[in-house]
Amino acid sequence: MKYEEKAKQFAYKAHEGQLRKDGVTPYIEHPKAVVGILKNAGIADDTILSAAWLHDVVEDCNVSLSTVRAEFSGEIAELVDGMTQREHEGETDDEYRQRIARNNNQVKMVKLADVLHNMRTTSTARAEKRMKIYNSMSSAWNVYKGFAYEVCPELARLIDEAFKNTTKHLEV
């Protein structure tokens, strides 16, 4: 692996002290799980796995895309950029989802693993957030399902299963 170990160390440092929305789980557990999901799906590509470790550092940490580009390859930086929602530029959730759907398959694979992990961890959300989570997940899956089975059938199947499981546990 050319960059994956470096990306892992970079992500650990960038997310140091951050917690997931549950207020308990260290944030690094999310990119770690995304990488694990990709590896379990048989993805061993160094560029994809490195981008998976780094997929939230620009959006959620004090890290610029130019820093990612300088530390890693331009290809990894492009994948991270493809995963980064541009809320500060006024990009809506729907516009972000549509951009993901138009992106390359590497970005789509990381996003699918990201969605799967988020779906698997919704049970820790507070009750008052569950409807918002369900609506967001439903909107995302409606867009991503269009390409998911083509890009990575195993991830698509797991997401569909997780989505169905999640809807059973959410009050809708």
What digits encode the pLDDT tens for the residues 126-153?
Answer: 666 767 777 777 888 889 998 999 999 9
Give dist(CA 142, CA 155) in Å, integer. 15
pLDDT attached to residue 125 = 64
What is the gyration radius of the CA atoms in the chain, in angstroms?
A: 15
> Chain centroid to CA 49: how far?
12
pLDDT classification of 119: cutoffs 50, 70, 90: confident
What digits encode the pLDDT tens for the residues 52-80?
Answer: 999 999 999 989 999 999 999 999 999 99
pLDDT classification of 82: cutoffs 50, 70, 90: very high
Instruction: Say which CATH number the domain at 21 has.
Output: 1.10.3210.10
What digits encode the pLDDT tens for the residues 157-171?
Answer: 998 888 887 766 655
Q: Which residues are catalytic?
A: 59-60
Contact assessment for residue 162 and residue 116, using Cβ atoms and an 8 Å cutoff: yes
Q: Residue 172 above 50 pLDDT?
A: no
Give dist(CA 60, CA 85) in Å, integer. 10
This prediction has a pTM of: 0.89
Q: How many domains does the chain have?
A: 1
pLDDT attached to residue 1 = 59
The DSSP annotation for 48-81 comes to: HHHHHHHTTHHHHSS--HHHHHHHS-HHHHHHHH
Query: Would you say the C-alpha torsion 156, 88, 4, 23 has a positive or negative sign?
Result: negative
Containing structural domain, residue 78: 4-169
